[in-house]
A and B are shown apart, each in its own frame.
Chain A
Amino acid sequence: MAVIEVRDLVKEFSSHERRRRSGVVRAIDNVSLATEEGEYLVLLGPSGCGKTTLLRTIAGLEQPTSGDVLIDGDVVTGLPPRARSIAMVFQSYALYPHKTVLGNIVFPLRAHGMPADERVKRARKAAELLSIGHLLDRKPRQLSGGERQRVALARALVREPQVFLLDEPLSNLDAKLRASARDELKRFQDEIGTTTIYVTHDQVEAMGLGDRIAVLSHGTVRQVGHPVEVYDDPADTFVATFIGSPPMNLVPHDGMLVGFRPEHLLPAGAMPGSTDGQREVDLAVDRIEYLSGDRHLYGTVTTLGEPTRVVARLPATVGAPISAGETYQFAVAQQRLRFFDADTGLRREPAKV
């Protein structure tokens, strides 16, 4: 177990390295971030936000332009990957296609000069842990996607590294397998308790797996926090709209943006509790979607700042009859409203609306 830390990390790609039209691309822009011992930290962001570059820099596959990477307080910037006691699972799994499953799993041990009998014993143990013990003589191409992913995990954990780096390990699996693999991944990490940094663009994975989530955009960290925090208390409008499906509604009002989650916009009659803490709005519904029991209402709120298109998510327990083309009285609990500066997009203190 170890603590990973990056300090003031900057990574620039010049057009010489990446074929862009001009100049320098800043993939990581002054990022400082630290994990806790044994923590599951998820780097979440849209593609191109720098999350994979950050992971690769921590692994030592990329050298930062400036800033430092620390493992357990030791600066490892400039050290090659093999000196960092890390294990990485690649998005493609990067299994050696010419080696058997066993050959793949023992490869890191051989690279570290472990005696033959010892490393086979360790490899078998790792394979049993991931229940791929019966596949040891197969070649990677004879395995299914899920089995390949487990081989990649076994190859990563067999070294008992201080840190796991996982780069979108579930994105190559089909949707059904992904859910069960996510569950397994979580149980597996709970068991071995190794500090893990997990990169994904999928907020469901991030919410489900992460002890904490770091939301990245354009090479900067927008917010770090527990899943509940980034969901309920987004630091800015990027986090507010990137997380949540459908995303948070933002209504312009007097130089600020008033935000509320779709599930908090409910018919006025269906609101729990008394009416004092509520902000009533008019919602002109123009479309209704039925999604696994919930109703998603697309419409325009008027009476709360400028008229804005919003989404409301009515749980199955709210039975109020709604039909498209009508206007209804809806309400949001005051405590559910979030306020952002219209120019910077940053959170600001609550206001009376």
Chain B
Amino acid sequence: MADVAERTHEPGTPTARRKAGHRPQRRLADRDNALAWIFLMPSVVYIVALVAIPFFLAVGFALSDVTSGDPSFDFVGFRNFEAIFHDPVFWRSLRNTFVFTAVSMVLIVVLGKVLANILIADFRGKWFVRFLVLLPWTTPATLSAISWLWMLDSIYSPVDWVFRKIGILDDLIVIFSDRQNPGPGENMYWLGEPGLAMASVIIVHVWRLTPLAAVIMMAGLVAIPKDLEEAARVDGAGYWRRMFEVTIPMTMPVIAVAALFGAIFTFTDMAVVDVLTNGGPNNATQVLTSWAFFRGIDGGDVGQGAAIALFLFPLLLAAAIAVLRAVRRMELR
């Protein structure tokens, strides 16, 4: 029967192949549904195991009395939240987090834009400048924070040494600290004065994250058609008008993305705070992440630590929604 059926075919490839024992069939690579599952599984496992479970665990812990000494789970309702609301350090951390995030974000976006312009510029030796610009981002956070710890040391700070050599150290101390008559050999105490400590943390953080923002914005700048810039030049627009009326409006979506990344990385970061100031002096640089860590891990009160950490979630969610919405509105324009 099969032979008869085959003979009615033209002597062509399908029949010939079937005779040789290779029946055409659907292989695994042709089955899109199966493939979809296979390829998605690793990321599904990852998200469930390392994002979803810890998140719901945190929610559970926040409603429990789990401590490192007594890991048994007892439901306590919102008692942990009441406790942290009555803790002035929590409010201080919350405020610090907002200051830290807002100031860092603004600086990261502005400096990122400047660096992005340098990254796309065409000049001799640009590879070296690009390399230097990206270096802070490629260095491990803790390692660079430790370097900064020495840079800002109360006695051996090279920063202070430079200012002293220039001859402006005493003026800076008068302006930026409460000490009105600094004696000889007195330093800035970058990490010891509350205001300076916050400024130091912000500076180090901005130094670290600006390259990332710069690379994101560089992608946006490169995507602007060259014609537009040239048309604006022929139309008589100067540098600043071109920047504010052509370049920035056209890169607004990427600027928003850079700002979002800057905000989230700042909001959730504790490496810089932990290494530089450990939250001090006197909780002046305590942020939600570091406070949650001190309470939950160092202090052993897992329930309270989880409750503090959970405060990051709605704020980050709101920030993400706000920025993504801004991006969409700009695209629709």
Contact = CB atoms under 8 A, between A and B. Distances in A.
A88 B245 CA distance: 19
A87 B249 contact: no
Given A92-B225, A98-B333, A108 B249 contact: no
A94 B236 contact: no
Given A92-B225, A94-B228, A97-B250, A107 B237 contact: yes
A88 B236 contact: no
B232 A107 contact: yes
Contacts of A86: 234
A223 to B, nearest CB: 29
Contacts of B250: 97-98
Contact of B236 (A16, A91, A98, A111): A111
Nearest to A87: B234
A81 B232 CA distance: 10
Interface string A53-70: 000000111000000000
B173 interface: no
Interface string B288-324: 0000000000000000000000000000000000000
Main SS class of interface, A: loop
A88 B234 contact: yes
A86 B241 CA distance: 18
A61 B230 contact: yes
B19 interface: no
A61 B227 contact: no
A295 interface: no
Interface string A107-145: 110111000000000000000000000000001000000
Contacts of B233: 60-61, 80-82
B42 interface: no
A108 B227 contact: no
Contacts of B238: 82, 111
A178 B276 CA distance: 67
Nearest to B246: A96
A155 B232 CA distance: 11
B155 to A, nearest CB: 49
Interface residues of B, number: 20
Contacts of A96: 228, 231-232, 245-246
Contacts of B249: 98
Contacts of A81: 230, 233-234, 236
A90 interface: yes
B3 to A, nearest CB: 51
B235 interface: yes
Contacts of A139: 333
Contact of B237 (A16, A60, A82, A98): A82
A86 B236 CA distance: 9
Contacts of A61: 230, 233-234
Interface in A130-164: 139, 155, 159
B235 A111 contact: yes
Contacts of B124: 16
A91 B232 CA distance: 15
Interface in A235-282: none
B227 A94 contact: yes
Interface string A274-304: 0000000000000000000000000000000
A159 B236 CA distance: 10
B245 A107 contact: yes
Contact of B235 (A17, A92, A107): A107
Given A107-B235, A155-B235, A94 B246 contact: no
A96 to B, nearest CB: 6
A82 B236 contact: yes
Nearest to B227: A94
A111 B243 CA distance: 13
A94 B333 contact: no
B231 A90 contact: yes
Nearest to A165: B234
A90 B236 contact: no
Contacts of A97: 250
Given A82-B236, A108-B236, A94 B231 contact: yes
8 contacts: A16-B124, A60-B234, A81-B234, A81-B236, A94-B231, A108-B236, A111-B235, A111-B236
3 nearest A-B residue pairs (beta carbon): A94-B231, A94-B227, A82-B236
Interface of B: 122, 124, 225, 227-228, 230-238, 241, 245-246, 249-250, 333
Given A82-B237, A98-B333, A159-B236, 18 more contacts: A16-B124, A59-B234, A61-B230, A61-B233, A61-B234, A81-B233, A82-B236, A88-B234, A94-B228, A94-B230, A96-B228, A98-B250, A107-B235, A111-B232, A111-B236, A111-B237, A111-B238, A155-B235
